[in-house]
Every structure is written in C-alpha cells, then in structure tokens.
C-alpha cells in the first residue's frame, strides 16, 4: 500500500464542507468543522497577509468574500481576522487556527495560492507553521514556482501539482514538473481523461484527485479516470 494511500481513502471537501456560501461559508472554521463531523478530508487555500501570516482564503481580492476593497496582501492577519466573511460572524482563519481546530482528525489538502510579488515567503511560513503538526497533510499549487520551492524547502511533505488544460503547451508544462518528484496530482475533472493524468497514474502509480466535483457526471468521470474527488455543493 502506498504511503499516500490515505489521500484517496475519503472524499475531499472543497474549501471545507460549506453550503455554497449561504450560511456556512467556504474556508471558514464552521465549514472545516462540518467536514470533520462528516469524516471528509479538507481542501483549503492559503495566501500571505501583509505581515507574513498564512491565511486561509481563496481569492487575492477581498470583494467577493468580504465586500471590502483591496487585496489580502494589503491586510494584516489581525485585519483579516476582524473582517466578516459574507456578512456572517466568521472571519478568515490563520493556518494555525485551522490546524488547532482540525488537530489531525481528518487529512488536509492545502493549496498554496500566493500571488506574484507577494508570496516569496509563503512556502517558508507554511512549512514553519506546520512544524510539529502530527496530522496527515499534503501541499499543492498551480504555481510551478511554488511547487519547485516545496521540493526544495519541504522535501518531507508530500507535494502535488494542481493543474488544468488540454493544449499541447499545457501538457508539456505539466510533464516538465515531474522532474520535481511530485507525490500526486489534482486535475480539473472536466478535462479528464488526458495523457498527463494517464501517465501519472499508469506509469508512475501516483494518485490523482479531481476538482471540483459538483454533480453525478463528475463523480462518475472521477472514478473512471482518477482516484478521488474534491467536491462541493452536495454530501457524498
């Protein structure tokens, strides 16, 4: 059995088990608690605050989730922690706050979002925050630059490439990242099957998870061509 077999044992709740941002919003502690209660792994996203704290938040811009102008890179962790999400009483948690809630109860699939010019310290701060955390965790990113940094600065933490695209250029770029000892791949479900995912699974025997699964067709596509799904909008 693969050392990373736990990654595909249970469905992965996309940004926690939120309710499509009606009452329980994405990437908040209530969404993470709901995933824990349901026994699902948790996918979440990280950016750095202006004072270098890893924050659990998807967008670079603040407007969609907080109604405020500006970007997360312009706000301190304290400012983010006082900014309500979606008009609720919940605010963006720090990575540390999320880890303190989860405490290894379910696996974590953490995506490093970052933004050019504001994320030079992201990998280092995330690795520092994860020191001493005993739960199961993997790190991944769309950014090839950040994945290469993970290979250098966090060689003992399983790392993945978050990916999409079917063009020859996209395939070439994805294949180039195999030189950095990927542990798994997370691929857009709507773009399966494809040569890269087939090679990763069949030739390298690495697990592939999909994003973001929202209906039965995508569930079926996942389990025809990949190993586990990152889901939202329903409870498997």
Domains of the chain: 5-230 (3.20.20.190)
Q: What is the pLDDT of residue 42?
A: 99
For residue 118, what pLDDT band results from cuts at 50, 70 and 90?
confident
| Residue 125 pLDDT | 98
Q: Please tell me the distance from the alpha carbon of residue 71 to that of residue 148, in angstroms, as a whole number.
A: 25
Cβ contacts of 62 within 8 Å, gap of 6 or more = 68, 69, 70, 71, 72, 75, 83
Is 80 exceeded by the pLDDT of residue 204?
A: yes
Judge whether 14 and 57 are in contact, CB under 8 Å.
no
| pLDDT given for residue 1 in this prediction | 54
Query: pLDDT tens digits for 67-98?
Result: 999 999 999 999 999 999 999 999 999 999 99
94 and 56 Cβ atoms separated by less than 8 Å? yes
Which is nearest to 192 in space by CA: 160, 227, 232?
Answer: 227
Q: Which two tokens stand for residue 133?
A: 């955390």
Q: What is the pLDDT of residues 33-77, one digit of tens each?
A: 999 999 999 999 999 999 999 999 999 999 999 999 999 999 999
Q: What is the crossing angle of helices 122-130 and 95-102, to 10°?
A: 30
Does the structure show a pLDDT above 70 at 220? yes
pLDDT at 2 over 80: no
pLDDT digits (tens, 9 = 90+) for 157-186: 999 999 999 999 999 999 999 999 999 999
How confident is the prediction for the chain on average, in pLDDT?
97
Helix (H) or strand (E) holding 45: strand 41-48
Question: What pLDDT sits at residue 117?
Answer: 83
pLDDT at 34: 98
């Amino acid at each position: 059995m693969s050392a990373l077999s736990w990654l595909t044992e249970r469905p992965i709740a996309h940004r926690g088990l939120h309710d499509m941002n009606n009452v329980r919003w994405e990437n908040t502690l209530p969404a993470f608690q709901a995933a824990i209660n349901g026994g699902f792994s948790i996918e979440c996203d990280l950016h750095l605050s202006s004072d270098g704290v890893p924050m659990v938040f998807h967008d670079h811009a603040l407007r969609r989730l907080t109604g405020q102008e500006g970007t997360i890179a312009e706000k301190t962790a304290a400012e983010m922690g006082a900014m309500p999400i979606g008009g609720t009483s919940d605010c963006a948690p720090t990575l540390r706050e999320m880890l303190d809630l989860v405490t290894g109860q379910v696996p974590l699939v953490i995506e490093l979002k970052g933004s050019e010019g504001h994320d030079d310290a992201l990998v280092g701060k995330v690795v520092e925050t994860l020191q001493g955390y005993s739960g199961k965790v993997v790190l991944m990113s769309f950014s090839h630059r950040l994945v290469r940094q993970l290979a250098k600065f966090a060689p003992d933490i399983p790392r993945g490439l978050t990916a999409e695209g079917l063009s020859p250029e996209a395939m070439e770029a994805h294949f180039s990242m195999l030189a950095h000892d990927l542990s798994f791949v997370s691929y857009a479900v709507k773009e399966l099957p494809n040569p890269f995912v087939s090679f990763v699974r069949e030739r390298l025997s690495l697990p592939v998870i999909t994003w973001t699964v929202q209906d039965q067709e995508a569930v079926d596509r996942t389990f025809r061509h990949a190993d586990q799904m990152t889901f939202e909008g329903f409870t498997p």
